[in-house]
Amino acid sequence: MTVVFDHCRAERIGLPESVFSEGKPYEALEKLACEYASPDARPVLFTRLAPETYERFPPEVAKGLDYHPLSRTAFNRVCPGRSGGRVAVVSAGTSDGPTAWEAARTLAYLGVEHTLYEDSGVAGLWRLTSRLEEINAHQAVIVVAGMDAALASVLGGLTPLPVIAVPTPVGYGVAQGGETALHSMLASCAPGVAVMNIGNGYGAACAAARIMRLL
Amino acid sequence: MTVVFDHCRAERIGLPESVFSEGKPYEALEKLACEYASPDARPVLFTRLAPETYERFPPEVAKGLDYHPLSRTAFNRVCPGRSGGRVAVVSAGTSDGPTAWEAARTLAYLGVEHTLYEDSGVAGLWRLTSRLEEINAHQAVIVVAGMDAALASVLGGLTPLPVIAVPTPVGYGVAQGGETALHSMLASCAPGVAVMNIGNGYGAACAAARIMRLL
Amino acid sequence: MTVVFDHCRAERIGLPESVFSEGKPYEALEKLACEYASPDARPVLFTRLAPETYERFPPEVAKGLDYHPLSRTAFNRVCPGRSGGRVAVVSAGTSDGPTAWEAARTLAYLGVEHTLYEDSGVAGLWRLTSRLEEINAHQAVIVVAGMDAALASVLGGLTPLPVIAVPTPVGYGVAQGGETALHSMLASCAPGVAVMNIGNGYGAACAAARIMRLL
Amino acid sequence: MTVVFDHCRAERIGLPESVFSEGKPYEALEKLACEYASPDARPVLFTRLAPETYERFPPEVAKGLDYHPLSRTAFNRVCPGRSGGRVAVVSAGTSDGPTAWEAARTLAYLGVEHTLYEDSGVAGLWRLTSRLEEINAHQAVIVVAGMDAALASVLGGLTPLPVIAVPTPVGYGVAQGGETALHSMLASCAPGVAVMNIGNGYGAACAAARIMRLL
Amino acid sequence: MTVVFDHCRAERIGLPESVFSEGKPYEALEKLACEYASPDARPVLFTRLAPETYERFPPEVAKGLDYHPLSRTAFNRVCPGRSGGRVAVVSAGTSDGPTAWEAARTLAYLGVEHTLYEDSGVAGLWRLTSRLEEINAHQAVIVVAGMDAALASVLGGLTPLPVIAVPTPVGYGVAQGGETALHSMLASCAPGVAVMNIGNGYGAACAAARIMRLL
Amino acid sequence: MTVVFDHCRAERIGLPESVFSEGKPYEALEKLACEYASPDARPVLFTRLAPETYERFPPEVAKGLDYHPLSRTAFNRVCPGRSGGRVAVVSAGTSDGPTAWEAARTLAYLGVEHTLYEDSGVAGLWRLTSRLEEINAHQAVIVVAGMDAALASVLGGLTPLPVIAVPTPVGYGVAQGGETALHSMLASCAPGVAVMNIGNGYGAACAAARIMRLL
Amino acid sequence: MTVVFDHCRAERIGLPESVFSEGKPYEALEKLACEYASPDARPVLFTRLAPETYERFPPEVAKGLDYHPLSRTAFNRVCPGRSGGRVAVVSAGTSDGPTAWEAARTLAYLGVEHTLYEDSGVAGLWRLTSRLEEINAHQAVIVVAGMDAALASVLGGLTPLPVIAVPTPVGYGVAQGGETALHSMLASCAPGVAVMNIGNGYGAACAAARIMRLL
Amino acid sequence: MTVVFDHCRAERIGLPESVFSEGKPYEALEKLACEYASPDARPVLFTRLAPETYERFPPEVAKGLDYHPLSRTAFNRVCPGRSGGRVAVVSAGTSDGPTAWEAARTLAYLGVEHTLYEDSGVAGLWRLTSRLEEINAHQAVIVVAGMDAALASVLGGLTPLPVIAVPTPVGYGVAQGGETALHSMLASCAPGVAVMNIGNGYGAACAAARIMRLL
């Protein structure tokens, strides 16, 4: 099994390589990690890389990767800085951490400046409004929320920035798996809220980077 | 076809008779309307009574009914007043009118005092917050919203009153039919928000009346 | 990762703090448990706290919490008593225990008097009717049922009290996960039955407490 | 287009011919109706035959058919009587009429004795219990209900007879189309309740006839 | 937690007690098993009793139960024989074994004579047709199938007996969980096929026993 | 609005042009029909062309099209004959006509020989088995069925030919819209049955033509 | 019924007023149209305004609105021009016209430069690739597609621009209503594709305008 | 439990025996494996045979089977070669390996020549187009893809060969389980793409073999 890598992607769409690790056999992942561990390797980002997998890598390979367990991301180096704007990542609660941090870490890998605002859920509205001015000083907002995802609508109605909403699988009963959050964001009563797949913090960061590249 | 009416319902559960008109043949509805048109008839409420049906009733029967087209409700008389509290009905937008008014009209029929606050959707948050103090002066809130139904979560996090949330079928795409609003309300991040079936303004009013009966 | 707690919630909506533990990393839960273990801490309720997690807490922290494994709830102290009414918690079967007890334990934490009636499913109708008078002596009813959830409709047609229905994920095949129970309760033929998310005993107790606060 | 009729069905499975009319072009239906209008034709039952279609039939053909608009059924003659038992058809409300009557009319066509008990929904439980003894004097029960379909569970727990449950599409919101009733019946807490497709009164009667054939 | 058993069920509906074991805590199950282990105990059937649970029972209790691992059923004694007819249990494939055997074992417990015909799926149609005459010598058929469940339609078109169809969760992709088999059986083109919940072999046996009781 | 036609499709994939008419504005359809009415026009097939639309075409344009109302197809000329094999189109019932005929008409347009076998549903199995030898004398089979679609599995287990299965939206309740038939075909217990979208007789014919092209 | 308009929205989020017309009573729409017909009125956009409704407006009001039937949009004036970039609207087929044109018309209303590329579906890939360079000369792309929506993935893999994908309800069978297109876009294998609700061309334009505002 | 094998299948439909191992008890699998291990046994293919199961087989039995862990397939011998055409198996990404290899291994077992092209997803379109000519030199194509499955549409629009599409459960959020890929393939805008159940590489190979048998 030889992997045919899309090596010219960065030139074509401005987003460097990444590896979605979930579901790939360990051997394939280790082989990729080794290749990118060499000093002259191009940058690469591993997403959905389980801690157990990372810990199984040979020590010298693991050492060459910057790994972050909550977001399950790893990269060998940061891409050359982009001069564009800054992105605010706003999440509803602590449980949305894995997705919010996947977005933040991908932005870091892509060389995009960003700030993370956690625990901003609308059940305690003051937590959002007290930080609104600071958020609006960025050039785009990534909103991360599960359950009813009301945060996307409220923030979408309070900011003129591009809003990229990411539903998370946080919740139980009808909220389990994130479909309620996804649908709530898609049906947002605030105009112009764009939505990513459930838990796709990586994609939200890429969408933001496509915007930042214009600035 | 003779209808076996649950005539002792008012005594048993404190809620007088009502007729869900949708799907019933015209002949059955006209017969019922005639019976309740007599001066000494007990009170009755018709819900989901289409304007076409009402207009087809014999004039003297139609005249004996207080009909309201937007809510599609009709009643022959108002039930004896209840001394209990007052209910606020808060809706997100003009399109939620049929459900919001079904709740308001049912409260009127049941003799429960109430106020209706329309156009309070969270995309323009100031419309809700500017009326919050007034809403909190009631003893229960019925929240009516479609699409993402974020209003239920936001209001649920701002009021100590019992909150009865009613999703509406307003919206398109994933919001069509009201399931997104229903799930969003059930998954509300605000604690203690109780939910009715989609478009069930009548049931929300009954739930509120069960509470008012305690006061 | 610092948690921004909604510390003014009790003042705003009358419901003190609680922590939804499922999906939160152990470190965050232990940190919270330690903070609330101090003698002068405000009251706090942990819901969905797995026995494995509780047992991993440092002994002195665990000792400071009243933990109940079936309901997976823990609290450090009971909130000051409310003078209002009493709540009946009626469940269909033994398997509904986790949700029924989550409701009962939350009521205990909130200082609301209550009685628990288990094994009242309608397949053996006499078990419900023989206790009806006693149930009706309360001021609100929380109905907990899985599978076909017929109990909500039957009890809703027999009591004038506010009825808060909680579906449970009990069952298999089409009943698995609780959606059938949820939909059955929402479509109840008894008027004024309000519904919570699947398994949300905590929310049902909060909804009841919002009502009891009026008395 | 020539129809290949399964003419030996009665001999093979004991159930004579029937024509599901919905979706068939008018020409095919008229041709079939004409064939079966001759004095020596075998018995045939048309189900889901819209009034508009029946009224379009040539007068002499229409006259030869016993048509019943509410159930949308027509037959040219009744099958030779079966000596077996009697079937009770119990329905929850007036709106379930089309399905309940389709069952009753099919039983009539098949020569099976039966009684119809309408308006027996559990929201007013006394309507069912007061007729229970009479129902139990039959040899099988067909239960017809929409919305939450709680009637199937309650009756299934009160009768030793074979119970055939038919959900109806009566209801709105989550009940619309009858899936909630279907799932509720399948998940019934009463043991041994067998279920038909939504609105399939015809099939319920066939299932009952298969049983009566044994007696 | 004391269980309120529906002890008069056998008298009321002719079906003796049974315990759905899945989801019940071990302590409750052991307590019940002990009570029914005494020589003068009434008959009881445990369904969905995992081998791990059974093996954890005290030896003298386990010895007093007739346990069958594939069907996950156990009973302490067989109910007094019924003089009625015999039931054929026909299953599509080896993988449907757990459900087919749950039906067979429940029939054994209820004292109903029966024969089990496995591996009769329609992909190799001769396996069914070669045994048809033998099957038709019974008084009712329980059909057990997963995946496309075509067996129910084919057999329903070949037998005049009452047909009780049980979908199983066998399959993958769209068949996973058994919903395809369930819907296929409900939509069967053969008239009078009655359907149980997915995997409900117990219920199918109860439905058959309700019929056998008439003979 | 100018349509950018994929004019080189026939050369690229061997299937000439076709127009999916549903949802296109009348003006666009008339314009296309006029263009293809000229004597030297390339062949074109219109699918899902409603009778009302066809009848609205200018007479000289309508006259130039071979229109078939049941299948809602029209073509200006037949494509040059293919020397390959013959295709059997087998359908379960009269109601599946629109889809079965869409397949047959598309085959005619593509110049593929074929035979249509209607009314072959498995509820009367003899109708299929008596024609099996004749069917097997073709080189591919298109199976068209709604409801439980058991025909696909039964025929798939009786023929060595390539089997292309097309579900139809025929049925009510759980069968409504054709999803049950679709899932049943996808989960077929017969190996190697390939499936098209619901009602896609056109696509089935194209799939068969791709095969015939090899012969 | 008085509408509480969110009049300060333009100042708050940079997007001027708009009216979602579907489901609003005619009287409310006419009243709004009249208000905005005055020469000094602020700009307003009506979306989902049916031709029947527009034609019912008083002539002088209708005349004051720029109405476009395919997109069902109307506006009284164009907002002051934005100096930012240009947006490419790329659609898969003619049937996606209503949504593609709703996006284009909203961009026109918002004063954003744009180009519309229709009929770019991937079944004839050359139609997209031949226009790629021209598309990439814009600053953002709105991709509009129904059915399998493969266009979003293919274009997302070929352009470095921000990509806003809008599913349409075009299709039948599993594609009906647009859910397949929606899910396909959300699951796109191209990184950073952001998605709107089904048919939400208006929202896509707003999302693009939020981006253009940065340039 | 004795298995009634469909031993005449190869003669009837041209496809030799196979065993779907998932969900079958170990004892049944071992017994079958032993029977087929004898030198004169007919060929047999085990699909979905977990590595743990294979490793538990007695060494001499395991040795007699050609086992392939990624595809979870095993066979005792290859069927006699077919003279027909060659099949291309084209997959979108490394994660689709289990399904793609199940197809390839089944083709090997059936004696059908084939080539496997992995990593051909459309996000990097050049990977597909650069191999198109080579692919088109086969006689049929099996397309294997998860997530948005856009590969099926793109390839279907570029090749005249029969196309058999197999969705895989690769993906997360809305793509989880493979339903999005399935629906996307069924709704493909390329004409004549036939689809298998999610993950059914075995069935795709059988469908291809049915075609190759004609050549």
Gap between the Cα atoms of A87 and E159, Å rounded: 69
Q: What is the DSSP string of chain F?
A: ------TTHHHHHS---EEE-TTS-HHHHHHHHHHHHSTTPPP-EEES--HHHHHHS-HHHHHTSEEETTTTEEESSPPPPP-S-EEEEEESSGGGHHHHHHHHHHHHHHT-EEEEE----GGGTHHHHTTHHHHHTSSEEEEEE-TT-HHHHHHHTT--S-EEEEE----SGGGGGGHHHHHHHHT-SSTTEEE--TT-HHHHHHHHHHHHTT-
Chain B hits for A157, CB-CB cut-off 8 Å, are 122-125
Size of interface D-E (CB pairs under 8 A): 110
Mean pLDDT of H128-145: 97
In G121-132, which positions are buried (b, 16+ CB within 10 angstroms) versus exposed (e)?
bbbbbebbeebe
Residue type, A29: L
Distance from CA of H159 to the nearest CA of E (A): 27
Residue type, B201: G
Q: Please give the residue of chain G at the shortest CA–CA distance from B147.
A: G197
**Residue D71 confidence class, pLDDT cut points 50, 70, 90:** very high
DSSP conformation class of H199: T
Q: Do chains E and A touch (3 or more CB pairs under 8 A)?
A: no
Going from the C-alpha of A79 to that of each of A17, A42, A201, H155, the distances in angstroms are 10, 9, 18, 34
Whether residue H152 contacts residue H165, with contact meaning beta carbons closer than 8 Å, is answered with: yes
Residue type, F15: L
Gap between the Cα atoms of A106 and H138, Å rounded: 42
Q: Please give the residue of chain F at the shortest CA–CA distance from E184.
A: F148
**Which one of C136, C141, C183, C195 makes the best mutation probe of the B interface by having the most chain B beta carbons within 10 Å?**
C195
Gap between the Cα atoms of G127 and B207, Å rounded: 59
Q: Do F6 and G124 touch (CB under 8 A)?
A: yes
Whether residue G144 contacts residue G170, with contact meaning beta carbons closer than 8 Å, is answered with: no
Distance from CA of B161 to the nearest CA of C (A): 6
- Helix, strand, or coil (residue A144): strand
- Categorise residue B116: left if φ over 0, alpha if ψ from -120 to 50, beta otherwise: beta
pLDDT (tens digit per residue) in C140-183: 999 999 999 999 999 999 999 999 999 999 999 999 999 999 99
Supply the pLDDT for residue D1: 45
Chain B hits for G178, CB-CB cut-off 8 Å, are 173
> How many secondary structure helices (H) and strands (E) does chain B include?
10, 9
Chain D hits for C175, CB-CB cut-off 8 Å, are 183, 186-187
Mean pLDDT of C24-32: 92
Over its length of 215 residues, how does chain E's per-residue pLDDT go in tens digits?
Answer: 456 777 788 889 889 889 999 988 899 899 999 999 888 889 999 999 999 999 999 999 999 999 999 999 999 999 987 667 999 999 999 899 999 999 999 999 999 999 999 999 998 899 999 999 999 999 999 999 999 999 999 999 999 999 999 999 999 999 999 999 999 999 999 999 999 999 999 999 999 999 999 99
Q: Please give the residue of chain D at the shortest CA–CA distance from B12.
A: D124
A97 touches chain C (CB under 8 A): yes
Supply the pLDDT for residue H83: 65
Q: Which residues pair with D140 in a beta bridge?
A: D87
Q: Do F189 and E123 touch (CB under 8 A)?
A: yes
Select the residue of C119, C126, C173 nearest E3 (Cβ to Cβ).
Answer: C119
- pTM value > 0.80: yes
**Which one of G91, G95, G119, G172 makes the best mutation probe of the F interface by having the most chain F beta carbons within 10 Å?**
G172
Phi, psi of C141 (to 5 degrees): -125, 130
| The 3-state secondary structure of C96-130, one letter per residue | HHHHHHHHHHHHHHCCCCEEEECCCCHHHCHHHHC
List chains adjacent to chain C, taking adjacency as at least 3 C-beta pairs closer than 8 Å: A, B, D, E
Supply the pLDDT for residue A1: 46
Q: Do B95 and G24 touch (CB under 8 A)?
A: yes
Chain H hits for F193, CB-CB cut-off 8 Å, are 203, 207
Asked which of B191-205, F28-42, H180-194 is least confident by mean pLDDT, the reply is F28-42
Q: Do chains C and F touch (3 or more CB pairs under 8 A)?
A: no
Sort H145 into a burial class: Cβ within 10 Å, 0-12 / 13-18 / 19+: buried
Going from the C-alpha of C193 to that of each of B203, C69, C141, C185, F119, the distances in angstroms are 7, 29, 10, 8, 49
Gap between the Cα atoms of C206 and C87, Å rounded: 11
Which tokens in the block code for residue A214? 């214009």
List chains adjacent to chain E, taking adjacency as at least 3 C-beta pairs closer than 8 Å: C, D, F, H
pLDDT at B152 over 60: yes
Mean pLDDT of C38-64: 94
Whether residue D79 contacts residue D50, with contact meaning beta carbons closer than 8 Å, is answered with: no
Q: Do A184 and B186 touch (CB under 8 A)?
A: no
Q: Please give the residue of chain H at the shortest CA–CA distance from E126.
A: H6
pLDDT at B70 over 50: yes
Whether residue E212 contacts residue E85, with contact meaning beta carbons closer than 8 Å, is answered with: yes
Write out residues 180-199 of A within 8 Å (CB-CB) of G: 182, 186-187, 190-197
Q: What ipTM describes this predicted complex?
A: 0.95
**Residue H39 confidence class, pLDDT cut points 50, 70, 90:** confident
Higher pLDDT, C82 or H128: H128
pLDDT at G130 over 80: yes
Going from the C-alpha of B92 to that of each of B115, F91, G83, G177, H130, the distances in angstroms are 15, 50, 35, 25, 54
Q: What is the DSSP string of C65-96?
A: SEEETTTTEEESSPPPPP-S--EEEEESSGGG
Low-confidence ranges of chain F (pLDDT < 70): 1-3, 81-83
Gap between the Cα atoms of F187 and F174, Å rounded: 17
Tracing tokens 């993906």 back to the chain, one arrives at H171
Chain D hits for B5, CB-CB cut-off 8 Å, are 119
Distance from CA of residue D49 to its chain's centroid? 14
**Residue H147 confidence class, pLDDT cut points 50, 70, 90:** very high
pLDDT (tens digit per residue) in E148-200: 999 999 999 999 999 999 999 999 999 999 999 999 999 999 999 999 999 99
Residues whose CB is less than 8 angstroms from the CB of residue C184 and which lie 6 or more positions away in sequence, other chains included: C148, C149, C150, C152, C153, C167, D148, D149, D150, D180, D183, D184
Gap between the Cα atoms of D195 and E103, Å rounded: 17
Going from the C-alpha of B167 to that of each of A187, D37, G48, the distances in angstroms are 13, 52, 22
* Percent of chain D scoring above 70 in pLDDT: 96
Supply the pLDDT for residue D3: 62
**Residue D2 confidence class, pLDDT cut points 50, 70, 90:** low
Gap between the Cα atoms of C43 and F203, Å rounded: 65
Low-confidence ranges of chain A (pLDDT < 70): 1-3, 81-83
Whether residue H140 contacts residue H111, with contact meaning beta carbons closer than 8 Å, is answered with: no
Computed from CA positions of residues B43, B49, B51, B56, in that sequence, does the dihedral angle turn out positive or negative? negative
Average pLDDT across chain C, whole number:
93
Gap between the Cα atoms of B50 and B61, Å rounded: 15
Whether residue B190 contacts residue A148, with contact meaning beta carbons closer than 8 Å, is answered with: no
Tracing tokens 């203690």 back to the chain, one arrives at B192
Which tokens in the block code for residue E211? 């019929």
Report the candidate in G108, G113, G54 with the shortest Cα–Cα distance to residue G85: G113
